[in-house]
Amino acid sequence: MTLDTRQLRYFVAVAEERHFGRAADGLRIAQPGLSRQIKRLEESIGVPLFSRTNRQIELTSAGEAFLPYARLVIGMADRAVAEARAASEHAGGLLKIGGYAITYYPRAGDLLQQYTERYPDIDVEFVPGHAAQSFERLLRGSIDMGFVTLPFQPFSADARYRALGQLEAIVAVPSHHRLAAKERIARTDLFADPVFTWPRELNPILADRIRATVFGSVEHPQLIEIADVFEVLLRVSRGEGLAIVNAAVTGFHSREVEFRSLEDPAMFEYGLIWLETSLPVNAQRLLDLAAEADKTRAIS
């Protein structure tokens, strides 16, 4: 049996939309043609992948089992094309890393710069995204590794993690605010103002840890969830509230925003995550470089 990657893409589109019409629109093909291709895929496999009613489309148990592997095959096919194109321009191939932003992780920029200096023929591509997006891309094979902050929800028994450093959660304060006069801020001082913070839905276990670490057991009455740190800092500069941010954003230049640590610093570990059984050589080289850097710091 030979699987057609085009049919797999069609299957994944219908599985994610739960609707043939919307999937067809997204794929820019006619719905009857999409239905025929799904039918041919089911006939090729020998089992129905969808249960169809007049009102909705649902995955069968076979479809549920088939979906993650279909995504993986598509991801690996796309990656094979990317590797081939990279190899035509860079003899060393490609390394793809996911994460929120390079500047978010203090050691990331230095580590990747050392990597490109040592392996100039390897094309390094950073793929921005939140932790859940990086986990999905790892499972699909569309990235090799990801920068993440602990803790995170387990997503695969094959996942492996290497610590790189720590992040400090600090407070962004309007420059004219009473708390800007303090060198460090007490946690109890945070409850009098609205506070912008990381959306819980993006990483519930991390969001809960941040809130417990910063606010203790008391629930803050005026939390405002915003993912875009630049929007958060803009709103702080307008005096709309305080914000819990990563210390790496202190490079944000504005006379209207000050940054202060908490009286008892709130620290969070971050590092690299990958899948053990699908770690390419170029990704292993980055891990080796990180270990080498740690050894150098320990000796010096």
Domain match, 226 and 252 both: yes
Q: How many C-beta atoms lie closer than 10 Å to residue 107's C-beta?
A: 17
pTM: 0.67
- Same domain? For 257 and 292 the reply is no
Amino acid 54: pLDDT: 66
The reply to whether 291 and 263 lie within a common domain is no
Same domain assignment for residues 217 and 252 = yes
Per-residue pLDDT of the chain (300 residues; tens, 9 = 90+): 667 888 888 988 888 888 888 888 888 888 888 888 888 888 888 899 998 776 678 889 888 888 888 887 887 777 777 767 666 655 568 899 999 878 788 888 889 999 999 998 888 999 988 888 899 889 888 899 999 999 888 888 889 999 999 999 999 999 999 999 999 999 999 999 999 998 888 889 999 999 999 998 889 999 999 988 889 999 999 999 999 998 888 776 678 999 999 998 889 999 999 999 888 889 999 999 999 877 655 544
**Can you give the pLDDT at residue 297?**
56
Q: How many structural domains comprise the chain?
A: 3
Domain CATH code at residue 260: 3.40.190.10
**Are 152 and 173 in a shared domain?**
no
Distances (CA, A) of 7 to 15, 27, 33, 37, 64: 12, 11, 11, 6, 16
Q: Are residues 171 and 253 in the same domain?
A: yes
The reply to whether 108 and 57 lie within a common domain is: no
Which residues form the domain of 18?
Answer: 5-72
Residues 67 and 184 in one domain: no
CATH code of the domain containing 36 = 1.10.10.10
Q: Is the peptide bond before 151 cis (omega within 30 degrees of 0)?
A: yes
Same domain, 228 and 259: yes
DSSP state of 82: H
212 and 171 belong to one structural domain: yes
Determine the Cα–Cα distance for residues 184 and 171; give it in Å rounded to an integer.
9
Residues 144 and 175 reside in one and the same domain: no
Residues 83 and 26 in one domain: no
